[in-house]
Chain A
Amino acid sequence: AQSVTQPDIHITVSEGASLELRCNYSYGATPYLFWYVQSPGQGLQLLLKYFSGDTLVQGIKGFEAEFKRSQSSFNLRKPSVHWSDAAEYFCAVDGDKIIFGKGTRLHILP
């Protein structure tokens, strides 16, 4: 069965520090992978996606993600976070149908 796991419910980092949000999936083949961000009271905005090809994907707002087939992971990274990055981040996997992770809420310390 298809599934996606975001192990961290909350993450707190200091402004300017690096960030990595984890996403693991279970699927019999390589699915389509997405990261979305949701600010309070807003809909979701696509940060980046992986369909095929280069396993390091660049997205908007300085985010990147790396697809690792051997680890069934698609972790999101940013070298230096800004206070405006505080939001909830969702990993999504589309194999048979799209499934979203439970989300990771990112808090930024000044």
Chain B
Amino acid sequence: KAGVTQTPRYLIKTRGQQVTLSCSPISGHRSVSWYQQTPGQGLQFLFEYFSETQRNKGNFPGRFSGRQFSNSRSEMNVSTLELGDSALYLCASSLASLPDTQYFGPGTRLTVL
């Protein structure tokens, strides 16, 4: 069974731009969660989607948004990029909604210049 895939793997943007990251979960998984990982703040939960509905969200500004499609694929959008948004963005999928065993993708490395 294929694992969680994230595209693109690397991205360079400039301040003020917006970006969309994509995540394809493991086949059959209905929950997708997004995380931001930085050296200073560590791994922080952004939000979880289950059956196209946002179930939970972390403490991030409204510039961070997401959605989930009927095939469970998910996208995360960050608008008006700031330098501090430079991070590794990880997506994880699970069969059921959290708490459940999550399987992580390799991440998208976003650099904001």
Q: CB within 8 Å of B: which residues of A?
A: 32, 36, 41-46, 49, 51, 90, 94, 97-103
Contact of A32 with B107 at beta-carbon distance under 8 Å, contacts A98-B45, A100-B42 already known: no
One of B12-20, B64-72, B78-86, B96-104 contacting the partner: B96-104
Which has the most chain A C-beta neighbours within 10 Å: B42, B44, B98, B106? B42
| CB-based contact A101/B42 at 8 Å | yes
> Could you say which of B45, B101, B106, B107 contacts A97, with CB atoms under 8 Å apart?
B45
Closest Cβ of chain A: how far from B77's Cβ, in Å?
A: 21
Of chain B, the residue at the smallest CB distance from A93 is B99
Which has the most chain A C-beta neighbours within 10 Å: B58, B98, B99, B104? B99
| CB-based contact A44/B42 at 8 Å | no
Of chain A, the residue at the smallest CB distance from B40 is A102
A-B contact count (CB 8 A): 42
Which A residues lie within 8 Å of B90 (CB)? 43-44
Closest Cβ of chain A: how far from B9's Cβ, in Å?
A: 10
Closest Cβ of chain A: how far from B58's Cβ, in Å?
A: 7
| CB-based contact A44/B99 at 8 Å | no
B53 at the interface (CB under 8 A from A): no
B11 at the interface (CB under 8 A from A): no
- What's the Cα separation between A103 and B35 when bound, in Å? 15
Which A residues lie within 8 Å of B105 (CB)? 43
